Structure 1
Amino acid sequence: MDLKEIQNLIKFVAKSGASEVKLEMEDIKITIRTGSDPDAVAVRYVSESPVPQSTVAMTQEPHPISEGQAPVAPVAATEENSKYITIKSPIIGTFYRKPSPDKPLFVEVGQTIAEGDVLCIIEAMKLFNEIESEVSGKVIKILVDDSSPVEFDQPLFLVDPS
């Protein structure tokens, strides 16, 4: 079971309203508990076999991400768009282009942005996380529709840094 499958399982349990889910396979035991607080989810991951060093990070309990703590890592885009920077989602959740329904959009295609500008909000477990730009440039394309679910590391924006 890889990290993406575990994240999807956590997301499913949080939405289902179940208070506890235990999953046991040949070499893995996972327990997901939600407390009385709907925002609190505890995950315990135990492996019966030797665990590679890269997997050890999953054994720690996740902490809720508060507003402004979710950095966006700019990553080089595909070869045809190599001059553009892809801004990807740092978390799973629901993507919003504006702070509330009656407010204007954070950014639009063609708009020039600076480092630290808020690009969008991603809601994860009732927490609204402002996603800030780590690059300056011009927004070339918005790759996600408003109010749609996004996955970890999913491309959100294409930015021309020149």
Structure 2
Amino acid sequence: MDVDKLKAILAALQGTDVSRLIWVSGQETLDLRLGHPPPTTAVHAVPMAAPMAAPLHVQAANPHPPAAPAPSGAAPPPSPAARPAEDKKTFTVNSPFVGTFYRSASPDTPPFVDVGQVVKKGQVLCIVEAMKLMNEIEAEQPGRLMEVLVQNGSPVEYGEPLFRLEPV
């Protein structure tokens, strides 16, 4: 996206009550959030499988908002250290969006991939629905699917691990 187009978009948003705009055009994604404080943590771009122009992020929200306090008597949520450790022989495929995770194209079709299956670079692993757009998530490198880390139909956060694979 060129600078003039970005300036035109920002000018059009001035004086409106729009607080967020996500624009996907081809392989470019623009995520604008207006009127929010800058994030307190570093934001890193997640590499995509297909070659693309560098994503333009004007401002991003904190990908890990503070958790609500647990009601008394409830078990505390598992800490990140309690999650299964990713060993050096495996890698994860992470969600590039906040959205809803789907293992198949529709409820009556089989999953894109199953545990134990060898996947090729660029092969579709799942769909993450974000703002009514179905985004296919592809393997960034070949590997054998070791574990599906998210339940079908569950919400996912930006950067959340979806699959664990071992290189082949």
Q: Which amino acid aligns with 1:124?
A: A
TM-score, reference length from structure 2: 0.54
- Classify 1:80/1:59 alpha carbon distance in 2 versus 1 (closer, same or farther; 3 Å): closer
Asked whether the equivalents of residues 85 and 159 of structure 1 are also in contact (C-alpha less than 8 Å), the reply is yes
1:147 equivalenced with 2:153 (yes/no): yes
Asked whether the equivalents of residues 32 and 57 of structure 2 are also in contact (C-alpha less than 8 Å), the reply is no
2:19 corresponds in structure 1 to: 32
How big is the alpha-carbon RMSD for the aligned residues of Structure 1 and Structure 2?
A: 3.3
Q: Which has the higher strand share?
A: 1
- Residue ranges of structure 2 left out of the alignment (5+ in a row): 1-15, 22-30, 44-55, 61-83
Hey, what's the Cα distance between the residues in 2 that align with 1:128 and 1:138?
A: 24
1:133 equivalenced with 2:142 (yes/no): no
Residues 10-35 of structure 1: CA distance to partner in whole angstroms, max 9, x if unpaired?
xxxxxxxxx94xxxxxxxxxx6168x
5 Å-filtered alignment, 1:1-162, equals: 20=17, 32=19, 43-45=33-35, 57-59=57-59, 81-162=87-168
Moved over 6 A (4+): none
Identity percentage over the alignment?
Answer: 43
Hey, what's the Cα distance between the residues in 2 that align with 1:109 and 1:33?
A: 37
Hey, what's the Cα distance between the residues in 2 that align with 1:113 and 1:157?
A: 12
Give the paired residue count: 108
Q: Which amino acid aligns with 1:108?
A: D
Q: Which amino acid aligns with 1:32?
A: S
TM-score, reference length from structure 1: 0.56
